[in-house]
Structure 1
Amino acid sequence: MPVRVIGMIGVAPPAGTALHVIGGGVSPGFLGEFAQAHEQAGFDLVLVGYYSSSAEGFAVAACAAAQTTRLGYVVAHRPGLVAPTLAARTIATFDALWGGRLAVHIIAGNSDEDMQRDGDFTPKEERYERAAEYLDVMRRAWTCAEPFDHNGRFYRVRNVFPDVRPVQRPYPELLFGGSSPGALAMGAQHCDTFAMFGEPLAETAERMAAFRRLAEGFGRPAPKFNISFRPIIGRTEGEAWDKARGILANLKGAPPHPRGQDQSGKRLVDLAARGDIHDERLWMPVAALSGGKGNTSCLVGTPEQVAEAMLKYYRMGVASFLMRGFDPLDDAKDYGRELIPRLKAGALAIDREATLAA
């Protein structure tokens, strides 16, 4: 299984040491440069995030797709703000226009405060139930061979049979993240890839095994897994650790993140309370400082050391990695010079070993 590398793009240059790339004004020139840098660095896809204050994700991805040739886009999407049939056509249209370069990250949880800014006052656990029905209707719209009706708790549609279908079959990949029972049940029933924040190897293995059992209970195919890290790399290990400490010092002077903590973030904060370093390279003080928000599990070392740390997760069955840095544009370029090539070459070597052993 070839390894896949996902980055993250935003629409405006961040100032200073950046914890987040969502927000700010819209700069088409910077967006194009950011996307092109990821394509040239060897990223396979980039995430376009979502907050109630951020630029609209499908428009951002379309603008970036027009300025790249190969790079794919993982667009974050909140079920419930539009009808599932409209979302199905929006996603299918993008996929058809841009040659199958789309995946969708489903966000049903997030903070109540951020949901309410978009007019959604539905309680979180109910949002997961609504999202499950939403995804059921959306998937049927992509795959139906004849018109269908749906009469559910949250949605009622009649005679649905869209003209536009996705290029990807049966439909673009659906990713999700979360730690609550509602999030996991929704994902196990309807999504393809479980996206996790970076946790120690043992905890990650436990989460993967539990989610496989859950998906199997719903009669779903074996799920795929993505894990997110902030690599901090240097020419030497000492240089990398000095860089990490400098990043932490800069972030301590930044304003706090305004959005609430979810259960996945709480897991990171709890892990950070157990110790700054896990499994030799997993560094958690930034996660503690941010309250677990913003993909803040760091791997620290030389490109070779960080790639080897990531390949330990690959051996466990994690075939997709989301990575971004604290200097987002320049870090993406740096990852492309040594880290991504080492990660992809190492994954191929592991695959060859497995083939020979079989």
Structure 2
Amino acid sequence: NKGDGIFLSHAERYEVTQEFLRIYKRVLSGETVEHEGKHFRIEDGRLLFPPVQTPYPPLYFGGSSDAGSTVAAQEIDKYLTWGEPPADVERKLDGMRELAQKAGRKLSFGIRLHVIVRETTEEAWAAADRLISRLDDATIASAQKVFARMDSVGQARMSALHGGNRAKLEIAPN
């Protein structure tokens, strides 16, 4: 975020996100918005062309930190997560269901995975190998070092999964 000129703490970024989402949903719902908040001031905020979906298009969001999970549970419709070992995903989604229920809401979910389907296991692994054939171990290690410096909890979880071993990027058996 600092490379984007945003020098907010992790907690502040989620404060901004939550305030923005609350305004955004109101505008998308057809309201003319007047808002004086901690991070935003809106005067006569409205859309010229309302969305087709009502009250607004579904909002997708992912966040693995406590702050991100709280914002997601309170504000969004579709919670997104990375592919992690199935038991970890189950725990994460159970936690999100609980947070959403406490907020009087219900979420649906999405997951980001690379799925490779072929006639045989050998063909699937050959296709996977082709996908990463131009990524040498040094390139992967360099990217992992960058990710490890970020304050993203989700990215930290992904880096921990990898642990310097590219074979660990397979999160579940075939």
Asked if 1:224 corresponds to 2:108, the answer is yes
C-alpha separation in 2, matches of 1:267 and 1:188: 20
SS at match of 1:209: helix
Match 2:159 to one of 261, 269, 273: 269
- How do 1:21-32 residues align onto structure 2 when only pairs under 5 Å count? none
Q: Which runs of 5+ in 2 are unaligned?
A: none
Instruction: Measure, in 1, the Cα distance between the counterparts of 2:133 and 2:28.
Output: 48
| Shift, 1:217, TM fit | 1.4
The letter of the residue matching 2:4 is: D
CA distance in 1, matches of 2:109, 2:5: 32
Q: Report the TM-score when normalising by structure 2.
A: 0.80
The Cα offsets for residues 257-300 of structure 1, whole Å up to 9 and x where unpaired, read as 38534321222333445xx8xxxxxxx7364xxxxxxxxx6677
Contact persistence 2:85–2:171 (CA under 8 A) = no
Taking the aligned partners of 1:271 and 1:245, their CA distance within structure 2 comes to 19
Counterpart in the other structure of 2:14: 128
Alpha-carbon contact 1:231-1:300 (below 8 Å) kept: no
2:147 is the counterpart of 1:260: yes
CA–CA separation in structure 1 for the residues paired with 2:53 and 2:83: 29
Contact 1:244 1:300 in 2 (8 A): no
Contact map agreement 1:148 1:161 (CA 8 A) in 2 = yes
Matched, 1:238 2:128: no
For 1:136 and 1:231, how far apart are their aligned partners in 2? 35
Aligned length: 167
- Distance in 1 between residues matched to 2:173 and 2:87, nearest whole Å: 19
In 2, are the aligned partners of 1:178 and 1:196 still within 8 Å (CA)? yes
How far apart, in 1, do the equivalents of 2:46 and 2:91 lie?
A: 41
Q: In the alignment, which residue of structure 2 is the partner of 1:203?
A: 88
SS in 1 for 2:101: helix
1:29-59 C-alpha deviation (Å, 9 max, x unpaired): xxxxxxxxxxxxxxxxxxxxxxxxxxxxxxx
Using the alignment, how far apart are the partners of 1:246 and 1:286 within structure 2? 17
| Residue of structure 2 in register with 1:213 after alignment | 98
Contact 2:147 2:155 in 1 (8 A): no
Alpha-carbon separation, structure 1, partners of 2:64 and 2:17: 15
**Bigger fraction of residues in strand:** 1
Distance of 1:244 and 1:181 partners within structure 2: 34
> Greater RCO between the two (CA within 8 Å, min separation 6)?
1
Q: Matched residues in 1 for 2:160 and 2:8: separation?
A: 28
Q: Identity percentage over the alignment?
A: 29
TM-score by length of 1: 0.42
Cα distance, 1:137 vs. partner? Answer: 0.7
Q: In structure 1, the residue corresponding to 2:43 is in which secondary structure?
A: strand
Contact 1:175 1:191 in 2 (8 A): yes
SS of match in other structure, 1:230:
coil
- 8 Å contact kept, 1:231–1:299: no
Match of 1:171 among 34, 56, 62: 56
Corresponding residue for 1:158?
43
What runs of 5+ residues in structure 1 fail to find an aligned partner?
A: 1-114, 277-283, 288-296, 302-358
1:149, 1:171 → 2: CA distance? 19
Q: Distance in 1 between matches of 2:47 and 2:124?
A: 52
Partners of 2:11 and 2:121 lie apart in 1 by: 44
Which residue identity lines up with residue 29 of structure 2 in the other structure?
A: T
SS in 1 for 2:135: helix
Partner Cα distance (2:26, 2:49) in 1 = 13
Relative to structure 1, the CA distance from residue 165 to residue 254 in structure 2 (aligned partners, 3 Å threshold; closer, same or farther) is farther
Kindly provide the amino acid, as one letter, of the partner of residue 285 in structure 1.
Answer: A
**How many angstroms does 1:163 deviate by?**
2.9
Contact 2:33 2:44 in 1 (8 A): yes
1:119 aligns with 2:5: yes
Give the letter for the 1:265 counterpart: Q
Shift of 1:184: 0.8
Tell me the distance in 1 between the aligned counterparts of 2:57 and 2:168.
Answer: 33
